[in-house]
Amino acid sequence: MSDVLKHGISRYKLYSLRDKGIIEQISRGVYRLVDLPPVSNPDLVTVALRYPNAVVCLISALSFHEMTTQIPHEVSIAIPRDSHPPSLEYPPLLVHRFADKAYQAGIEEHQIDGVTVKVYSPEKTLADCFKFRNKIGMDVVLEALKLYRGRKKFDHRKILEYARICRVEKIVRPYLEASI
């Protein structure tokens, strides 16, 4: 909506285009042309457009990196501890507040249908999963570690670096040593 207003198109014209079926409303304030091909990951794109500072984390990041068989029922996002939590009708959000150092570490930017989406790296995601193991389940964490280990690039140093930042190094180390 804000981009359209900047280009001199009124809200009424936008609503008229929506009512005529030329554009569709993805979420509050987010519209797209109906003729465009479907968005490959509409939930992540919507969150990135509405909240550019949010970083996809935990189960949603595991799913993005294909490190889980879990299907996320909401988009898990990380925000800085002192920021205001976003509210969104759709998709449902699971908001986690991270300390500054943990929030800023391991952010990758990916392009999904021309939109920049921030997602934590696979290694940072594993460290976060160990930190939130009681909330997401240890079985999910171990599955993610197993799927990550199956990749050609197994970087235990990076995982330990992020585990140190997330203050779970002592918990992560035995699992990494067992998997080497």
pTM above 0.75, yes or no: yes
Integer CA distances (angstroms), 135 to 40, 58, 114, 150, in order? 28, 10, 33, 25
- Residue-by-residue pLDDT tens, the chain, 180 positions: 777 788 888 888 888 888 888 887 776 777 777 777 666 677 898 888 888 899 999 999 999 999 999 888 899 999 999 888 877 777 889 999 999 999 999 999 999 888 899 999 999 999 999 999 999 999 999 999 999 988 767 888 999 999 999 999 999 999 988 876
**Can you give the pLDDT at residue 49?**
84
CA pair distance 47, 75, nearest whole angstrom: 8
Cα 158 to Cα 156: distance, rounded to the nearest angstrom = 5
